[in-house]
Structure 1
Amino acid sequence: MKRSKKIYMLLGILAVCCIATFSVIKLEDHKEKIKNSDKIILEISPDSVQSLSWKYKSKALGFHKDEKWLYDEDEAFPVDEEKINDMLKQFEKFGVSFIIEDVEDYGQYGLDNPTCTINLSTKEKSYEIQLGNYSEMDSQRYVSIGDGNVYLVKNDPLDYFDAVLSDMIDHDEIPKLDDVKEIQFKGAEAYSIAYEEDSSISYSEDDVFIAKKDGRDLPLDTTRVKKYLKNISNLNLNDYMTYKASDEELQKYGLNEPELTVTVNYISKNDKGKEVSNNFVLNISRDPKERKAAKKVDNKESDSSDEEEIKAYARVGESKILYKITSYDYKNLTAASYDCFRYLEAVPADFEDIYKIDISLEDADYTITSDKRLNKRAYYYQGEELETTDLKKALENLKADKFTDEQPTQKKEIGLKVYLDNKNYPEIQIQLYRYDGTYCLAVIDGKPVSLIKRSNVVDLIEAVHAIVLN
């Protein structure tokens, strides 16, 4: 009896071993069905797709096409059709690198609970594409299209379908503002800037922007104007507050009566290469409560530090999309007064264009002369040629820290009469008066203009002393 029990036990163990061996053999057979492939498993024309939806991270989005793409839950949502087309192009020729045939365990590929499920349909057929685990070893994604196989794909669809609703909005575009003809300001600022080549009031041929303000034409620093246009072009319009603005929402965000409206007239080329005139309109406002509380002095926000967080918003033209913008962008865009674009330099000309300087300092007068040979200018004082590095640097550093129309009340520190090789501005007269311990007041051509750091004026005086006292 005991012997028969032992035999049965041995037979049982043998049976288990046989089953295990068979399973291993089957597993090995299964593994052998993984093979390289360059097969195209889907060929779906993006133009033929009528609906597209996907579920990823428990969030689902769906879109359908009725001449244009529409969001299933709200057809007022402005869909970025280029984004949709980029998604669909993944399946225009959807190729693989490996095929795993006759799959028995989808779980090992993450396809029993897919990372992302994509559904799309044409008039003829519907498709379901499941995305499983990402193979770190192969740097590829496991994919199923419901044909019993699992595929490894080099181009991971999740790169495109890792998207939420805010990624699908057709944001307002800001054009490249390279060829600008005019800028108009309305609201907190009310004047315009015109593009004028060879203007009779410009300091140099590079000065092509002129302010049209209070019936006067005023020269502007082209670099500062172009920087402002770049601030517009670089504006990040991604953080939208609403995509179907009502009158109430316009009022809520202060865009029913914008704080500042900027209209830029620019030239672009159409598909036929023909130049076309366009207008780009940008409306900017801060939160109405903040705006009401803000105190304005000289067209600038007072009592607000650079670090102050401002709730500000923007709208392109009559668009239904309202955007939140950063404090940084708000400050840059509303810094649009004439003072923000005028020259900071007291002498807004190249040093080489100066051919004579008359200097009054400490009740004495001095004159620096020059001659020009082979496009190179040499400077002299009392017949001796000068090393002008310090003088050049000191003159270039005479820059406005603040603009003002205050009249001088203290003594004059130094006076200059600069003679230029310039038909529009043959000479500039500069008087620098003591203002306080930090600034000197610059009076240019008889008009108070700006406050210049006193340390820079001291540098100029020292540079003159180094010339006339040696």
Structure 2
Amino acid sequence: MKRSKKIYFLLCILAVTSIATYAVKQLEEHKEKIKNREEIILEIPIDSVNALSWQYESENLAFHKDEEWIYDEDESFPVDEEKINELLALFEELKASFIIEEARDYGQYGLDDPICTINLSTDEKSYEILLGDYSIMDSQRYISIGDGNVYLVKDDPMDYFAVVLSDLIDNDEIPTFNDNVTKIQFKGVEDYHIIYEEDSANTYSDNDVYFAQRNGKSLPLDTHRVNSYLRKITHLDLTDYVTYKASEEELRKYGLDEPELMVTVAYTTENEEGKEISDTFVLNISRDPEEKKAAEKISKKDNDNSEEEKITAYVRVGNSKIIYKISSDDYRDLMAASYDSFRHLEVFHGDFESIQQLDVSLEGTNYTITSEKKGDKRTYYYKEEELELVDFQRALENLKADSFTNQRPTQKKEISLKLYLDNENYPEVHIDLYRYDGTYCLAVVDGEPISLIKRSNVVDLIETVHAIVLN
């Protein structure tokens, strides 16, 4: 009896050992099907795809191609063809770096409940691509393409497909304006235009190329300030759209049936053959109509903090069907398009080296500073004594507008300068500085009131003159 029990016991051990050996063998066989090698698993030419859809979180987006890409739910949606092609480019040559052949448990790779399901079709075949977990250890994504295998791919499809519909809209493009602008037209709250003109006879500064056309005059503008405004247009963020099929009702709703300001920029560009052609860009700008009405009811006294006021504003490019919401700061920047917004702040904005003689009238006495020019260098003299005019030049350049005005002087003249320039078009510039109040002086240039400037800067100028004539 004992002997038979012992035999049964040994048989049980043998059976368990056999089963374990078989299991280990099966496991080893399964492990042998896990391969660490790079392999192209999908090759789908972009032009062959005629349908694309995917599900990701709450997004369920579908597109089909009929010469151009169309959004299934709304054919009026302007699809960005380039962005769709960027999505499809992933599958032109999708490579796996790790292959699990005949995978048994999709759950351990997150593929039983995929984070994203991508479907695409060609005339010959349809594909379903499941995106599973992200392997932090390998920095790769598990995917399935329906062939029974699981793959790890370095180029994570979620980097492409974690998008919403607004990411796929064909937004209006804004050109880059360099030295190719020929005209800027303002209509609405501002009504004038700016022309581009090199070597103009209407300025004494070689840097002036933009001129405001006002009341029959061509007035020089600060090139930097004009270019800064153009850059603000170029870098305007046109991504936050409120509608992509604007109706007449919606134009009224957003105040764009009659824009507050319409900016038209005429510029030149090159076509594919390299030939220069003319083009225009139009931007319509408006504030929310109801908000604007409410703001207009507020008195100026109560609106001293208007710079911090939150503004709801919109823009539209030309006759585009897309209306975009813009920030309060962008609205203020775009609406700052008055003549004063582009004028030179400096009372004298020319090259100091162009001054060949300087007459100063100060406290009833006249002084003359002369110069000699040899090559590119100009040397200044007072009563035959050579001068170093660094302080005077700095003081003159610091005479900048704190605000512009057309008020006539009513108080004492502080100092008068007559600049004789090495310029055929502008041989002389007259600058008179009058006392205005304890803080400001009034600058009058060539007989016309120009601006209020800080009195402290005028005092600095007077002191530099005293340092020259009293030594």
TM score, norm. by length of structure 1: 0.93
**Match in the other structure for 1:149:** 149
Unaligned runs of 5+ in 2: 298-302
Alpha-carbon distance in structure 1 between the residues aligned to 2:458 and 2:341: 22
Alignment map for 1:95-114 (pairs within 5 Å): 95-114=95-114
Matched, 1:252 2:253: yes
Matched, 1:85 2:85: yes
Alpha-carbon distance in structure 2 between the residues aligned to 1:4 and 1:435: 125
Alpha-carbon distance in structure 2 between the residues aligned to 1:399 and 1:420: 20
User: Which secondary structure state, in structure 2, belongs to the residue aligned with residue 91 of structure 1?
Assistant: coil
Residue 367 to residue 294, structure 1, CA distance change in 2 (3 Å): farther
User: Which secondary structure state, in structure 1, belongs to the residue aligned with residue 307 of structure 2?
Assistant: coil
Residue 11 to residue 330, structure 1, CA distance change in 2 (3 Å): farther
Alpha-carbon distance in structure 1 between the residues aligned to 2:426 and 2:292: 41
Residue 53 to residue 383, structure 1, CA distance change in 2 (3 Å): same
Alpha-carbon distance in structure 2 between the residues aligned to 1:382 and 1:360: 16
Amino acid at match of 1:127: Y
**Match in the other structure for 1:159:** 159
Residue 58 to residue 93, structure 1, CA distance change in 2 (3 Å): same
Residue 295 to residue 436, structure 1, CA distance change in 2 (3 Å): farther
RMSD: 2.2
Q: Choose 138-147 or 10-19, whichever is displaced more.
A: 10-19
Residue 417 to residue 109, structure 1, CA distance change in 2 (3 Å): same
Alpha-carbon distance in structure 2 between the residues aligned to 1:356 and 1:283: 48
User: Which secondary structure state, in structure 2, belongs to the residue aligned with residue 306 of structure 1?
Assistant: helix
Contact 1:346–1:400 (CA<8 Å) still a contact in 2? Answer: yes
Deviations 1:127-179 (A, max 9, x none): 01111222222222211101011112222221111110110100000011221
Contact 1:174–1:233 (CA<8 Å) still a contact in 2? Answer: yes
Q: Choose 18-27 or 437-446, whichever is displaced more.
A: 18-27
CA deviation after TM superposition for structure 1 residue 126, in Å: 0.6
User: Which secondary structure state, in structure 2, belongs to the residue aligned with residue 279 of structure 1?
Assistant: strand
User: Which secondary structure state, in structure 1, belongs to the residue aligned with residue 463 of structure 2?
Assistant: helix
Matched, 1:275 2:276: yes
CA deviation after TM superposition for structure 1 residue 45, in Å: 1.5
CA deviation after TM superposition for structure 1 residue 26, in Å: 3.2
**Match in the other structure for 2:203:** 202
Deviations 1:406-459 (A, max 9, x none): 112222222111111112221111111122232211111111110111222122
Deviations 1:251-309 (A, max 9, x none): 1111010000011111111112121111110000111123334459xxxxx74533221
Amino acid at match of 1:316: V
Alpha-carbon distance in structure 2 between the residues aligned to 1:38 and 1:282: 51
Alignment map for 1:188-199 (pairs within 5 Å): 188-199=189-200
Contact 1:203–1:219 (CA<8 Å) still a contact in 2? Answer: no
Contact 1:202–1:208 (CA<8 Å) still a contact in 2? Answer: no
Matched, 1:26 2:26: yes
Residue 16 to residue 448, structure 1, CA distance change in 2 (3 Å): farther
Alignment map for 1:431-446 (pairs within 5 Å): 431-446=432-447
Alpha-carbon distance in structure 1 between the residues aligned to 2:221 and 2:203: 8
Deviations 1:204-237 (A, max 9, x none): 3332212112222111122211111111111110
TM score, norm. by length of structure 2: 0.93
Q: Say how many residue pairs are matched.
A: 465
